[in-house]
């Protein structure tokens, strides 16, 4: 039996155009779905990327997951999701219960947890796309292009190192 090696080349321009088309599709598909009756049953148990927008249609978070449904279940728990912690910090830092527990990274006061859940339901919309490979590169591309405010990793040393390594590949 002979093995055949297959190689192909996709131009950077074609990749960027495909990423932009995906971004437009994800923006059009975004809906206020957090914690409704179908949550998260409508999300496939597949790898992919997800984007979160606010009411002003600004991209506020980009994420990737090896299992989208499992990740969406995590978003309801502060301990498990960076976006939820960032919302607590950026939107509720003046809240009395936030001041009392600001050093606790795993969970906020129950009153604040309820307020964050209500904020997600009323103010944020989400879309996702199953993608089996290149998820991390797409996440970095969208973050680099749009600078979402609830994405603290964007400013971290780890992200900057990884992004600069991929920046050459994507020619951002």
Predicted pLDDT of residue 171:
45
Average pLDDT, the chain: 78
> How far, CA to CA in Å, does 104 sit from each of 92, 100, 121?
14, 9, 24
Query: Residue 86: pLDDT band by 50, 70, 90 thresholds?
Result: confident
Tens digits of per-residue pLDDT, 102-123? 555 567 778 888 888 889 888 9
- What is the fold of 31-170? GIY-YIG endonuclease (3.40.1440)
CA-CA distance, 130 to 49, in Å (whole number)? 7
Q: Identify the residue with better confidence: 156 or 73.
A: 73
CA-CA distance, 140 to 167, in Å (whole number)? 9
* Range 26-53 average pLDDT: 85
CA-CA distance, 138 to 63, in Å (whole number)? 9
Predicted pLDDT of residue 172:
44
The number of C-alpha atoms within 13 Å of 20 and in the hemisphere containing its C-beta is 9
CA-CA distance, 64 to 128, in Å (whole number)? 9
Percent of the chain with pLDDT over 90: 19
Out of 50-64, 106-120, 140-154, the most confident range is: 50-64
Query: Residue 93: pLDDT band by 50, 70, 90 thresholds?
Result: confident
């Amino acid at each position: 039996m002979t093995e055949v090696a297959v190689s192909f080349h996709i131009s950077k321009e074609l990749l960027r155009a495909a990423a932009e088309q995906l971004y437009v599709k994800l923006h059009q598909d975004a809906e206020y779905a957090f914690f409704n009756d179908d949550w998260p049953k409508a999300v496939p148990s597949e790898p992919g990327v997800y984007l979160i927008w606010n009411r002003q249609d600004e991209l506020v978070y980009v994420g990737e997951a090896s299992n989208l449904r499992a990740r969406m279940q995590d978003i309801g728990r502060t301990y498990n999701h960076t976006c939820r912690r960032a919302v607590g910090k950026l939107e509720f830092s003046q809240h009395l219960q936030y001041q009392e527990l600001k050093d606790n990274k795993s969970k906020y006061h129950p009153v604040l947890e309820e307020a964050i859940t209500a904020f997600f339901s009323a103010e944020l919309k989400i879309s996702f796309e199953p993608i089996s490979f290149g998820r991390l590169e797409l996440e970095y591309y969208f973050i680099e292009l749009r600078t979402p405010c609830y994405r603290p990793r964007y400013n971290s040393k780890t992200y900057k190192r990884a992004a600069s390594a991929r920046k050459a590949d994507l020619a951002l």
